[in-house]
Homo-oligomer: A and B are copies of this chain.
Amino acid sequence: MKRIGVVDTTFARFDMAKSAVSRLKEMGTGFRIIRRTVPGIKDLPVECKILIEEEKCDIVMALGMPGGKEIDRMCAHEASTGIIRAQLMTNTHIIEVFVHEDEASDENILGELARSRSADHAENVYWLLFDRKRLEKRAGTGRRQGYGSVGAIGG
């Protein structure tokens, strides 16, 4: 039985974890989900690392919705740098799913983007754990999460 960590924030304006967990369950079985919530995206790196080291998670999803201002972009950069560092300290994948508030001007489109990106990345998480061949077949094919995929050049 594999263990999948799912961490989200109280700052986000959409229940991304619900969408991710729902898709994970559609993908298959053989795993248990460990949920955690932290205040903001800068609190994600250490929470993910704790899930890996103390809760023995085999992979973690880090979900967040950075604001649309310059300072929010810097926060997201700091969080991302920490998430990569946490992976390197543990030799474990942490799939970052960030939806930036300025990716859509309409609130409902933003919500839909948060929903679909969380779900699409849940597929990546499942494949990383259980079906690496599926990812290899998709190598270089221009996949996007939340938006429609753009496809391979000349494809």
Contacts and interface: CB of A to CB of B under 8 A. Distances in A.
A16 interface: yes
A128 interface: yes
Nearest to A87: B46
Contacts of A83: 42
A32 interface: no
**How many copies of this chain?**
5
B154 A95 contact: no
B96 A139 contact: no
A21 to B, nearest CB: 11
Contacts of A11: 142-144
A37 interface: yes
A116 interface: no
